[in-house]
Amino acid sequence: MRTISENRCFGGTQGVYAHDSQATGCEMTFGLFLPEEAAQGPVPVLWFLSGLTCTHENAMVKAGAQAHAALHGIALVFPDTSPRGEGVADDEAFDMGQGAGFYLDATKEPWAPHFRMERYVTEELPKLLFGEVPLAEEQQAITGHSMGGHGALTLAMRHPGRFRSVSAFAPICNPLESDWGQRQFEGYLGSVEAGRVHDATLLMAERGLDAPLMIDTGTADQFGDKLGTAAFAGAVAERRAEATLRLQKGYDHSYFFVSTFMGDHVDFHAEALWA
């Protein structure tokens, strides 16, 4: 871990760090908030996965999560959304390539050499952090926004037992039926059908989720037709999963929406993390 910056924040420290990643074959940057309790020993950790076009910085700066996490003595990790840099494949479209990793491991060229974000988020970065930072490995939760909400849902269901609680803000819930999914699965995995194992609605129907779930989506979300909220709600009902799905009147897809309900989400995770 190489320190890029560290700032005092709500009694703790908001840092930005970089490291050389074997999973992605490039340098990766991430944000890490440690509450003051971390000086005394390991603390629970909440992972925040960001959405399309974002870096580690968007949620770190705009979501207002640190104030709420500090109240509960919880650490926050803000990974980047994709590999980056010279020699890393990219696309002119905003929803493919750098900034759009979709939290999966690509198997097709030119993406396969670097776009291994599932491995990075679930294996490499946790191993690095739990080896270097006072975080409690048995007390993890995950959340995310938009594409990051997709990541939070799918990674939790693909890695049962990892997270004590899961939440999402306006997640892409049914990418197999969306513009935000079909093109990416075709490009990264070789076919839309190959994306079945990365579709939250299908995973909920087939596997379920072994942790409490909370989702907020705005009724004025300008990308609502791409999210698949209704399909996922149907799968939750059919599965009888433990879940709270809320439609927030008048809210859109922005970080104004995310920051408004961030306190609710951190409180939700704190209850599970400290249980």
Q: What angle do CA 128, 58, 140 make, to 5 degrees?
A: 40
**Cα–Cα–Cα angle for 166, 128, 21, nearest 5°?**
100
Identify the active-site residue in 56, 114, 253, 265: 253
**What letter represents residue 70's amino acid?**
A
- Whether 253 is a known active-site residue: answer yes
8-17: Cβ within 8 A, 24+ apart: 9/33, 9/66, 9/70, 10/35, 10/66, 10/67, 10/69, 10/70, 11/35, 11/36, 11/70, 12/36, 12/38, 12/66, 12/70, 14/60, 14/66, 16/56, 16/57, 16/60
Q: Calculate the alpha carbon distances from 202 to 8, 65, 207, 208, 217 in Å.
A: 42, 30, 8, 9, 19
Looking at 82, 221, 265, 269, which residue is catalytic? 221
Core vs surface per residue 4-16: b (16+ CB within 10 A) or e: eeeeebeebbbbb
| 159 catalytically annotated | no
Per the structure block, which two tokens stand in for 163? 């997270």
Which is the catalytic residue, given 146, 165, 167, 178? 146
Phi and psi, residue 7, nearest 5°: -135, 140
Q: Known catalytic residue: 146?
A: yes
C-alpha angle with apex 162: 161 to 167, nearest 5 degrees?
105
Catalytic residue annotation: 146, 221, 253
